[in-house]
Amino acid sequence: MNPHRKIGDVILQAEAISLSFGGVKALTNISLEVREHEVLSIIGPNGAGKSSMLNVINGVYHPQQGRVIYRGEARSKMRPHEAARQGIARTFQNIALFKGMSVLDNIMTGRNLKMRSNFIQQALYWGRTQREEIANREQVEKIIDFLEIQHIRKTPVGRLPYGLQKRVELARALAAEPTLLLLDEPMAGMNVEEKQDMCRFILDVNDEFGTTIVLIEHDMGVVMDISDRVVVLDYGKKIGDGTPDEIRGNADVIAAYLGTSH
């Protein structure tokens, strides 16, 4: 944990969220808070509802009950692009990149919502469009340097090893300059060294840009190491919420993890 970073007020509250798919209750009455500048981990066994929770936060799923309050504004429904415009960026459990496109072009797609001019404006105001393009490039170059991926900028993403693809996905999310960054298993499938790199980048992002981070992760060592707080889900219910030390000593959490592969 970074001693220099100051955790602020609550920026997002999920209030009594319930979500089901047909007969499957993915989330039952879940409330949680996210505080500005913190690293919050959501953990739990497979199928616990972790990805569903992120999907509710960024408007991919609309819960049947409950609401999300983001920066003081309550909503029960929001579209993912509205969430993005409000500063919520996201990476996915299964990498969502354009495999045939270069690293650079993939990261540029993360800037789309920052581009103000539309097609007509681009035709009419050539100069302004040029300036915007240059500013976008500069921001993307900054991220490429930050995540140390200069050497692969021209490489098609599909040719990269998995660990680097995950890093490119993080770069694409950062290109949107998010306030709140949601990471769904950013270290899944990585070897120890790749995990260490990813942990360092996540903490650097949090430290350098003050980005609030909510991440889902199965590796308990990683979770306990990098999180300010941890929320534990099990069968769609919240069974724990606290600091890593509090979670380690939580009897319900220990019971939920006994007999599983985690």
The nearest distance, CB 37 to ligand ATP, in angstroms, is 25
Residues in the chain: 262
Biggest alpha carbon–alpha carbon distance for the chain: 64
Pick 56 or 160: Cβ nearer ligand ATP: 56
Nearer to ligand ATP, 168 or 232 (CB): 232
- Contact of residue 91 among ligand ATP, Mg ion, none (CB under 5-8 Å per partner type): none
206 binds, among ligand ATP, Mg ion, none (CB under 5 to 8 A by kind): none
Q: Cβ closer to ligand ATP: 108 or 216?
A: 216
* DSSP secondary structure letter of residue 86: T
Q: Is 47 helix (H, G, I), strand (E, B) or coil?
A: coil
Rounded to the nearest whole angstrom, what is the least distance from the CB of residue 48 to ligand ATP in the complex? 4
CB nearer to ligand ATP: give 46 or 118.
46
Alpha helices for 26-160 (secondary structure H):
50-57, 80-85, 103-109, 119-124, 126-146
Beta carbon of residue 49, minimum distance to Mg ion (angstroms, whole number): 8
Instruction: Identify what 119 binds: Mg ion, ligand ATP, none; CB under 5 to 8 Å per kind.
Output: none
Sites of contact with ligand ATP (CB under 6 A): 21, 24, 26, 44, 46-52, 93
Nearer CB in complex with ligand ATP: 49/178: 49
Tell me how far, at minimum, the Cβ of 182 lies from Mg ion, in Å.
Answer: 12
* Residue ranges binding Mg ion (CB under 5 A): 51, 93
- Reading phi first (left if > 0) and then psi (alpha if -120 to 50, else beta), residue 68 is in beta
d(CA 155, CA 100): 9
Closest contact distance (angstroms) between CB of 93 and Mg ion is: 5
What DSSP character marks residue 29? E
Q: Which is nearer to Mg ion, 59 or 140 (CB)?
A: 59
- H helical segments located in 9-91: 50-57, 80-85
Rounded to the nearest whole angstrom, what is the least distance from the CB of residue 170 to Mg ion in the complex?
Answer: 17
135 binds, among Mg ion, ligand ATP, none (CB under 5 to 8 A by kind): none
d(CA 119, CA 228): 44
How many CB atoms neighbour CB 226 within 10 A?
21
Neighbours of 258 (CB within 10 A): 7
CA distances to 12, 45, 65 from 20, in Å: 22, 18, 10
Q: Is the dihedral of CA 22, 28, 29, 33 positive or negative?
A: negative
